[in-house]
Structures are given as C-alpha cells and as structure tokens.
Amino acid sequence: DSTNTHQQSYENNGHFFVKKTFHKPTYCHHCVEMLWGLIGQGYYCEVCNFICHDRCRKHVISPCSSIAPILIKNPVCHIWSDISRFKRKFCNICRKRLEDISAVRCEVCDYYAHEDCKDFAVNDCRETATYAPTRDNSTTSVRHHHHWREGNLPTNSKCAICRKTCWSSECLAGMRCEWCGITTHSTCRSRVPEECGFGTLRDIIIPPYAISIPRIADLNKDLILGIGNNMSKPMQNITSQSNNNVPTGPDYIINAITEKNSGLPITVQHNFNNIIKEEKPSRSNFVRRIQRQSSSVLLRKKPPTSNQLKLQRSIHRVRCSSTEHQSGGDADVGMETVSSRPKREKPPSKGQQDEEEEREIIRVYDGNATFRNGTPRSISVSRQATYTQILEAALRTFHINDDSTKYCITVPTDDFGGDQPLDETMPLKSLKQLSRRKLNIFIRYKERGDMDCDYVRVYPGILKTHDCFKVIKVTSSSTTTEVIAKALSDFGLTNVNAEKYSLVEVLLISNVNYTDRILEPNEYPLNVLRQQRKESVRSHRVTRFYLQHKDDPHGPSVSLFVGNLPPGPRTEKQYEKILFQDIFKSNKDLKWDNMEVIYYEHGAMVLVYNDSDRATRAYSILRQAYHDQKQLLVLMLPNIQSQTIPSNICPLLVFVNVKSGGQQGAELITNFRHLLNPHQVFDLQNGGPLPGLYVFRNIKHYRILACGGDGTVGWVLSCLDNVGQDALCQSPPVGIVPLGTGNDLARVLRWGSGYTGGEEPLALLRDIVEAEEIKLDRWTVVFHQDQDKRIQTTTTSDINSSKSPPPTTTTASSRTTNVEDKKNKIRIFHPPAVALPIVLQEGSTSEDKTEMFVMNNYFGLGLDADICLDFHMAREENPNKFNSRIQAKGYYLKTGLRKMMKKGGLKDFTKDIVLEVDGKRVDLPSLEGIIIMNILSWASGANLWGHEKDDKFSRPTHYDGMLEVVGVTGIVHLGQIQSGIRSAVRLAQGGHVHIRMNNDYPVPVQVDGEPWLQPPCDITIIRSALRATMLRKRKSKFKRRNTEPSVYFPDGDEDSKC
C-alpha cells in the first residue's frame, strides 16, 4: 500500500529503507559501527544511501535528502566554490567519498557535494545576517542557536556529551556546530544546550544578529557581498560557454550539472561511441551503465569539437536503486569515474544478461519546464513493472517524498507539452504504443476538477513566533491579502497591521540561489500553486510562502562601493560626470541619493541609495561598465549594527591577499569564512582594504588581521591613514599572517617566517585573540629632484599625478622611461606608490618635483635595491614562475651569483653620496649599498645590525624613534650576512637622515621591497606622525597537547579554555 509506505518513510525521517547484502566492509552511518554478517547485514536508503543496522533504523535522526528541504525554517543558499577535488571528505547528499571525483564545497559552511549532486543540496547554509529592527536586539535578549552539520568532522573529534570518539573516516557520521565547533554523536545532540556561545572565538566574531544585508532580488549573494569567489570565475565561465554547444544525443551520456543562468543540468559526460568501440558491449552493457546514474540526459546535437573535448571533465555517475551501495571508501562502490579511456568491465554472467535484457530505460520529466529544456532524468525498470512501481521510481529519482496517490503518469503527445494519461493496467505496453523511439513520461499532480481548495504552508520569516509554519486553507477565491491576515492570526500576531506585510513566494533552487517573488495583493495563491505544479513537480515541492515586512530590515539606505575609477586630484563633479553621464546616460532613475565618501587617491567611492530597487538596477549596470578600458569594481556592502555588538567583543577584520608569495591565500580565506562570520573576511582583490574599512567604520574597537606579505601590510596601513580619521576607531591594531616571500615585519612581531599551510587556521585566530599591542614607528621618505639634477628623458611622462596602491597584488607596476646615458640606454623605473600620493611642496615650481612615501621596514640604496629590482622585473614578466617562496629565494640566489661574476656595477658609488644623520655628516667607506632600517629583519630574516656590542650605538627597536644606517661592501658580504657569519657595516643611528646624490646616473632604490631606478636627487627620511599599532604574538608557553580539534569549550570548564 503506497499510503502505508509513505507513512513509514516519514517515520524514518523520509528514508526509503530496504534490506541489503553488502559485499565489502560497511559501516553504520548512525552508530559508526561495522555491519556484521554474511547476508542482509543492514538497511540502506534508496534515495540518499543512508546505511544502518536493523537496531538503529528506528533511532535514525538524519533526515533523507528527499525531505530535508521541507524541514528548514529559514533557507539560506550555499555559495559554491570552483570545481576541485577534496581528500578524506564525503558528499553531504549522496554520502559517498569525494576523492578523485569533481566536487564543490560551500564557501561559508562545511557543506560538500559532488558536482552532480549539488542540484539536490539542502539550502541550510549558515545565517550570517539576521538583524531585525522589529525585535529586541539587546545582547541579553538575543539567543543564538547552534547550526548543525553532519559528517566531515576533524580527526580525533570527541563527543562533548559522552566524551567518546564521534568522527569516522569510513562514512558520513557525527554532528558539528558551524559556529562554535562543538562535536557530538547524532544521538547525543539533543542533550546539548540550545544556545550557542561561539566557542573560543567568541571575542572576535560578529554575531549574525548584528549584521544586516540589503534585501535585493535577482542577484546572487556571493556576487553582491563579495564573500564568494572573485567577480570573475574562469572555471564557471568556461562551463557556461561550453554548455551552449554541448554535444547531446543518443550517443552521449549527459550528467546533471548546474547551468549558470537557468539552473538546469546539462554537461557532457562522455562520448558513448567511444565506449561502444572499446568495450563492444550489447544493449545489456548500456542498461547496466544507465542503472548507475540517478540523473542522465539524452539529447541530440552535433558532436563535440576538439576544444570542447578538452573542456570536458571527468564526472562521476551516481548510483541508482539497482546497484550496490556501501559506505566504504572506493569510488567504484555506488559510483563510477568516467575518463577519456573508460575501464573495461567484466563480462556479465548469463543470468545478469538475461536480467538486464528484461529492463527498460524510461526518461522522466517532472513538468513542462524540464520538457522545454530537454533535461529529463532516466530510470531503469523491469518490463513487468506495474504502474505504481514506475511512478514510485520516477518520484524517487526527483527526490520527491510524498504520497504517490497524489501523482499520476502521463505520456507526451507533441513537442509543446501536450500529454495524455498512461494506462494503469499495462503501462509499458501502452507507453511503447504512445511513444516514438524513446520512452518518455511526465510526472503530473492529480488536479481534481471538483476540488476547489488546497492547503499552503506559510512561514513567519523573522517574525517573533515559536511556530515553524502554519497550514492555511486557500480556495480559488482566496486572495493574498486574505492569506496574510489569516496567517498573522494563526501566528498569534493580532495587534499588527496586515497591510505592512507581504506574501513572498520563495523557490529554493539549491544550485544557483533561492529566488523570491512578492505576490500582488489581489493575486490568487491557489492559481500560483497549480501553475507551479504544471511547470515542475519538484519545484512545487520546494516552493514555500513567507510573511515579509514591507520595510527592509537593512534600512532605507543601500551602500555601493565603486572602484577602478581614475585616481588623482579630481573633484566630486568630475566623478559625477563619469558615472551619471558616461555610464548611466543621464538616467535620473539611476542617480544616487548621496555620494557619501570619495577615496581620491584610490579612485573609489561609496554611493548611497535610499531605494533598494534603484540600487539593484544601478548595481547591474555598473558591474558591466568600463571606463578607460577598465571594468568597474562594484560591491554591495553589508551594514553592521554596532549598537547590538556586546561590549566584551572586539571584532576581527580579516584581509587576505590570495596572490601573495606562497599562494596559500585562497585556502586560508575559505577557512576563515568557515570559522568567523564571512562578512568579516575580505578578499583584497575586490577593492583592496577600503570596503572592509568602510563597513567597520562605526565600530569603536576592533582588530585587523592582514594575510599577505610586507607589501600587503603596508597597503592596509596606508589605507588606514587615509580613512582612519573618519572612523570611530582611528588606529586599530594589526596582526599578520605571513604569506609573502620575505615577511620581515612578521618575523619581528613573532608571527613566523611564513605560513606553510600546516598550521591550523583556528590556532592562528587564537593567537590573534591573545596577542599584545605594540607600536611601530613609521617614516616618511621624501625624494626632491631639482631641475639641474634631472636626467633628460627621451619621453615625457607626468609623474606628478597621484597614484594608488596596487589593486590586486602587493607589487605595484612601475612605469618605465628610456634614458640616454653616455654609453647606452637605461630603463628608469619610476617609483610605485606604496603609501602616500605625491605632494608638491609649497613654493616649488613645476620644475621641482617632490615625491613622498611611507616606510615601515627599511630603505635601500644601491646593491640590495639592484637585486630587488631584477627580481621585480622577472616577476612582472613571468608571475607564474614565482608561486612559492622556494622559487622566489632561488631566483634571488641566482641573481646574486650572476652579479658576483659581473665586474663593475655599483662599486665605489658612495663617492658621489653625501650622508647626514641628525645634521652630522657621516664619512662613508667604500660600499656598494646603503640600507636604512626601522626593524631588525631584512631579506627574509637576516640581521644586518648584528649582535649587541659595547659601542656608541644603543639597542635598536622598532618603536624607539630611531633609524639604523648600515652599509654592505658587495655580493659576498651579502651572502655572509644571510648565512649569519658577518653583519653589515654600522654607519649611524638617528631620527633624521638626509642623502644627497651627486652622481650623474640613476641608482636603484627600494622602499619596503618596492624597487625602481632613481635619478639623482635629495632623499630625506623623517619620522612620520602616522604611528601604527601592531599586534605581537605572545611567546608560546608549554601546553598539554590538545587531541580534540574543536573551537568549543564549555563555559563552566575553565581548565579547558586557552
């Protein structure tokens, strides 16, 4: 009886359990113990592959993927990463391993899925912005609950309740809170307190109830907030382009993969002709392969070109109910990897051949939408299958867990969606008579003509109520206004004005986003349901209605960050002309209400709209706009309600430069988004530090974590200098995760020589919590060039224009000019802007040029800058050759050896250099380079100053207001310094340094590792008023080894806290 079967499936949390004999070691997904026995060892779900003992079947807590979307109160879509391969992870949908198979993961939570399975992903991502002005958001009244995720627990995780091991390397088991990190067994989860305390990172996490995001339509969250991947995703672009001309037809097997715009599964898996040619199977082999898929598409199109074949990926095919399912590890259990050369299968036995010859392949459409787009799902049934068996198999292939008596099977009769019912007495015979070459069927909802009423579920959204939803009876005459009034009454909200609320139809599409549509007041919800059933039965199952306040909780203002505009001394009217006239074409409907702030030095600004609809339209146009052959960068920013942040929390603002040094930033930024609120983590490729600093401008106290090299740290400090005066916290302390090549500032502050990927990101955040604040002296380097000292250039360039820090990398692009020397031409690299814009001194003429830069680490003149310049030029020409620190240091070594063999160079260049420190001239010996230091680390940790001596110099620090001036005599001397054998030549120590260059040729210089060729000029280094506050890692203490990698510690257990 189908009714009894449906009731039993709901009692088992939606699972369709059948007894199964497993031929490999298999583990129970509930108790994590092995299934023992020879035959019929346990049960498995025909839909989601959940495996359990007979004794565990009645105690299963994990819901089936067919019913899980219905159980979510507030659905939040996942933000998928690029396609990759993950080791020792399991798919959260089909519960199979991800190794050697293309898969994706959510950038916000630990949700993993095969590329084919993500169509059925449950929209239960973390809620990161839940601020609601209608409720009491005080810290004493708001309670934050755990967000549980099943499986993929850290190694050696133990249950917080029973203290036993709760992780498994053999199957998807165990539960973990995405916020605090507590791990438990599924059976112990009910004993955990409901309120989540955010674990050991509670002091730096911004609670979700303190953040609001704009309410916008038709725009994906990852693109708007910049918390997903970058604005351009090459892999997805390739996929979407290849999908336009994908080869389909009877010779091709096509698997279900997300198409970017329509959310429909279309991707070529393999050319079936090659399979036939190599394996020479009969129809039985084809049937056996089809049985292994839960979603395949068979269409007709032209064969692929050679370029298209290169774009095809190896995609796994998920099992069907006729194949074996085990929780073990290998990909051949329940799935198969298809490559360009498929493996030979063992010839089937005679009994298997007879059984496979007796099966039929049927293509199933769940409505008119899948029929129009040609995206069916295939099932394999016996030729003696009954009408009910075919119907139940069709429902399960679309993960529909419902009473089968509510549905029926029809057969398409034309190409426009026309159909007629299938004979229930002889279904396959009738199907063959009505179909053409292939067997196609529709799943239809039984619409009774005499039935003038139905029931809809209305969810409260952010309303203050304890009920998950209410079932509202609707008729053909029920309007939206009536449904809203009835729902508010059932929720007990009788004192509210129903006119201030709207009814929103939310369609959960897990592979793209969830889309919503506000129903008109006079619209009939019953007609909406009926139309949805015709279009897609599965979409109807994941469609729900929400009560929504007409006023946006985010507030009336929406902030748009616009970057990549021309920097320099421009006025607000000039920027307004670029945006309003050139881009918006003088359309007043797109005009902003306020240009809140303009970052002139960086060519960026923040536009404020008081209407979300206008902001959405403007955002869409700006994202596609170009100016000066550069695409504009646009971000829609969240709003932090600082008044709701508890006073004991000091939020952490994280900046990650994914291009720095060792290229570990991409993995690190994902880990930080999992551990913190993702609105705290910003990718420096998306506008640099300015968007994050603007979002945090109203927070009184916060800390910054800069993940990158020394150039990245200088970039962040430079932006703080420009925008800090307008923020409540003008000088937040800055910590470092060293991702660059040298990382000298990080070494001085005890953050290490470089992040290798072996450190736990959780440990890095704990160190930030415990770090101590310390001051860092900063210095202004002034280059003043008189007319009589200027080298005549063959090309003129305006180097008095304002510059900004690099938008994507820590190395700024330097402009070059051909200079006529006595013997040959020299390429002069004009200085990149590492900190401050160029300033013309008062009273100077156009012939006198003054440039100013902020120095944090050191300044080099001569030999060390020459080596740095060679490295910079090589990295500019071939950036792919410097993806690791080893490659970068290897090139430094080769450059040094090459210069050691070369004669001449910068020998005795100090004869034309005059050095003054604190007004006193310093006699210079024969040197090839002068280095002025603010920190005691240079060139990846070398100590130029050397050990302490009983001489006239005091012990140097980076906060004593003094600079150390040293010299190097040659390449050999540099090598000895690097090896620790010698130190540099100590020249002077003071707070004011002046250098006069009397030579007639350009000399290499560098400021904090940014090199260029500098023509003769006067160089002055003075102490800057912009002193920075840094975070220094505390000295490590001996601690008991922690074998339980969790961010959760019970509040009462003080001994377990770090």
Q: Where do the structural domains in the chain lie, given as residue ranges?
A: 1-71, 143-206, 358-446, 453-549, 558-637, 640-772, 779-788+842-1031
Rounded to whole angstroms, the Cα distance separating 614 from 596 reads: 17
Pairing type for strands 652-656 and 681-683 reads parallel
Of 272-286, 518-532, 750-764, the range with the lowest mean pLDDT is 272-286
Of 61-65, 162-166, 289-293, 735-739, the range with the lowest mean pLDDT is 289-293
Of 335-349, 588-602, 726-740, 798-812, the range with the lowest mean pLDDT is 798-812
Q: Summarize the confidence of residues 538-565 as an average pLDDT.
A: 83
Q: Is the pLDDT of residue 60 over 80?
A: yes
The 3-state DSSP class for residue 243 equals helix
Q: Which of 171, 169, 172, 175 is nearest to 187 (CA)?
A: 175
The β-bridge partners of 634 are: 562
Residues 853-867 pLDDT 10s = 999 999 999 888 888
**CATH classification of 779-788+842-1031, choosing from 2.40.110.10, 3.10.20.30, 2.60.40.10, 2.60.200.40?**
2.60.200.40
- The CATH architecture assigned to 558-637 reads 2-Layer Sandwich (3.30)
Cβ partners under 8 Å of residue 100, min gap 6 = 85, 331, 337
Q: Is the pLDDT of residue 427 over 60?
A: yes
Cβ partners under 8 Å of residue 428, min gap 6 = 360, 381, 383, 385, 390, 439
Q: Which residue has the higher pLDDT, 652 or 880?
A: 652
Rounded to whole angstroms, the Cα distance separating 879 from 884 reads: 11
Residues 612-658 pLDDT 10s = 888 888 998 998 999 988 899 999 899 999 988 988 999 999 999 98
Q: Summarize the confidence of residues 589-601 as an average pLDDT.
A: 90
pLDDT of residue 1055: 39
Q: Is 1-71's fold the same as 453-549's?
A: no
pLDDT of residue 884: 66
Backbone angles phi, psi at 751, to 5 degrees: -90, 0
pLDDT level of residue 457 (50, 70, 90 thresholds): confident
Q: Is the CB of residue 996 less than 8 Å from the CB of residue 924?
A: no
Q: Which helix (H) or strand (E) holds 720?
A: helix 710-723
Rounded to whole angstroms, the Cα distance separating 316 from 118 reads: 13
Give the tokens for residue 756: 């290798």
Rounded to whole angstroms, the Cα distance separating 739 from 755 reads: 6
Which residue is associated with the tokens 């000088």? 731
Residue 373 burial (C-beta neighbours within 10 Å; 0-12, 13-18, 19+)? middle
Rounded to whole angstroms, the Cα distance separating 741 from 45 reads: 51
Q: Summarize the confidence of residues 119-137 as an average pLDDT.
A: 80
Backbone angles phi, psi at 504, to 5 degrees: -115, 130
Q: Which of 286, 137, 283, 285 is nearest to 212 (CA)?
A: 137
Which residue is associated with the tokens 């209400």? 593
Rounded to whole angstroms, the Cα distance separating 854 from 714 reads: 9
Pairing type for strands 652-656 and 703-708 reads parallel
Q: Which of 599, 597, 600, 617 is nearest to 608 (CA)?
A: 597
Residues 971-1029 pLDDT 10s = 888 888 888 888 899 999 999 999 999 888 889 999 988 899 999 999 999 998 888 99
The 3-state DSSP class for residue 245 equals coil
DSSP 160-178: TTT-SB---SSSS--EEET
List the strands of the sheet with 265-271, edge to edge. Answer: 265-271, 252-258, 296-297
Residue 645 burial (C-beta neighbours within 10 Å; 0-12, 13-18, 19+)? buried
Average pLDDT, the chain: 76
- The CATH architecture assigned to 358-446 reads Roll (3.10)
Q: Which helix (H) or strand (E) holds 545?
A: strand 543-549
Rounded to whole angstroms, the Cα distance separating 891 from 894 reads: 5
pLDDT of residue 994: 95
Give the tokens for residue 123: 């929209």
Rounded to whole angstroms, the Cα distance separating 581 from 697 reads: 30
Cβ of 646: how many Cβ atoms within 10 Å?
A: 13
pLDDT level of residue 273 (50, 70, 90 thresholds): very low
Cβ partners under 8 Å of residue 276, min gap 6 = none
Q: Summarize the confidence of residues 576-590 as an average pLDDT.
A: 90
pLDDT of residue 848: 57
CATH code for 453-549? 3.10.20.90
Residues 186-222 pLDDT 10s = 889 989 998 999 999 999 999 999 998 887 765 666 6
Q: Summarize the confidence of residues 47-54 as an average pLDDT.
A: 90
Helices (H), 381-479: 387-397, 427-434
DSSP structural state of residue 841: P
pLDDT level of residue 680 (50, 70, 90 thresholds): very high
Of 300-304, 564-568, 1048-1052, the range with the lowest mean pLDDT is 300-304
Helices (H), 350-474: 350-357, 368-373, 387-397, 427-434
What percent of the chain is modeled with pLDDT above 70?
73
Q: Is the pLDDT of residue 335 over 70?
A: no
Q: Which residue has the higher pLDDT, 253 or 654?
A: 654
pLDDT level of residue 349 (50, 70, 90 thresholds): low
pLDDT of residue 536: 87
DSSP structural state of residue 577: I
Which residue is associated with the tokens 């329509």? 262
- CB-side exposure of 927: number of CA atoms within 13 Å? 25
Q: Which of 995, 1005, 1020, 567 is nearest to 829 (CA)?
A: 1005
Residues 698-742 pLDDT 10s = 999 999 999 998 889 999 999 998 887 888 998 999 999 998 878
> Which of the given ranges, 74-78, 149-153, 549-553, 810-814, has the highest pLDDT on average?
149-153
Give the tokens for residue 791: 């080298």
What is the CATH topology of the domain spanning 143-206?
A: Wheat Germ Agglutinin (Isolectin 2); domain 1 (3.30.60)
pLDDT level of residue 660 (50, 70, 90 thresholds): confident
Of 99-108, 232-241, 964-973, 1009-1018, the range with the lowest mean pLDDT is 232-241
pLDDT level of residue 839 (50, 70, 90 thresholds): very low
- The CATH architecture assigned to 1-71 reads 2-Layer Sandwich (3.30)
Residue 808 burial (C-beta neighbours within 10 Å; 0-12, 13-18, 19+)? middle
Torsion-angle region of residue 20: left (phi > 0), alpha (psi -120 to 50) or beta?
beta
- The CATH architecture assigned to 640-772 reads 3-Layer(aba) Sandwich (3.40)
- Contacts of the segment 340-343: beta carbons below 8 A, 24+ positions apart: 340/270, 340/274, 341/278, 342/270, 342/274, 342/275, 342/278, 342/279
Q: Is the CB of residue 231 less than 8 Å from the CB of residue 622?
A: no
What percent of the chain is modeled with pLDDT above 90?
28
Dihedral sign of CA atoms 638, 641, 642, 645 in order: negative
